[in-house]
Amino acid sequence: MDEYTMRTLLEQYVEGWKAGHINQVLDTLAHDCVVTECYGKSRDRVRQWMETWFAEGGRVLQWDILSFVGGQNSAAIEWAFRCWWQGRELSFDGASIVRFAGEKIEALREYTTTEPLYEWQGEWKS
């Protein structure tokens, strides 16, 4: 798969989340996809998770792709994410490793930071 197609699929996936368009997200995923975050290993599981998350007031406020590296049938992206969940705003940085097959996302593994990133200045941040 070419880099343009990979990037476009990832942008459609992210934009679907930002707009709350579940079918837009699902359209980027292979039927037997494996999405490893907190919600499951198939398109049906992703749909269930998204429907529940949005129904309970979850909203993506911002999700910016900061960098993209693609090759053959895989890509990695770094991103910044901000959402509204359970009455408060949350934000964190993360990265995803993605595999593609048949012009769909076959596998997506997300990693998130657990603490704000900072420049180390010789002392540990407490």
Q: What is the pLDDT of residues 22-33, one digit of tens each?
A: 999 999 999 888
Question: Is 36 domain-assigned?
Answer: yes
The residues facing 85 across adjacent strands are 88
With a cut of 70, say whether residue 11 has pLDDT above it: yes
**What pLDDT is recorded for position 20?**
96
Q: Which of 106, 87, 86, 88 is nearest to 98 (CA)?
A: 106
Q: Is residue 124 part of a domain?
A: no
Is 32 inside a domain boundary?
yes
User: Using CA atoms, how far apart are residues 119 and 108, in angstroms rounded to an integer?
Assistant: 29
User: Would 57 be classed as within a structural domain?
Assistant: yes
* Number of separate domains in the chain: 1
Q: Is residue 125 part of a domain?
A: no
Strand-pair partners of 97: 76, 109
Residue 57 is predicted with a pLDDT of: 97
Q: Which of the four pLDDT bands, split at 50, 70 and 90, describes residue 41?
A: confident
How many angstroms separate the CA atoms of 88 and 17, rounded? Answer: 18
pLDDT at 40 over 70: no
- Largest Cα separation within the chain, whole Å, is 49
- The reply to whether 126 falls in a domain is no
The answer to whether position 121 is within a domain reads no
- pLDDT value at residue 35: 87
Question: Greater confidence, 46 or 118?
Answer: 46
Q: d(Cα 38, Cα 104) in Å, to the nearest integer? A: 20
- The answer to whether residue 119 is domain-embedded is no
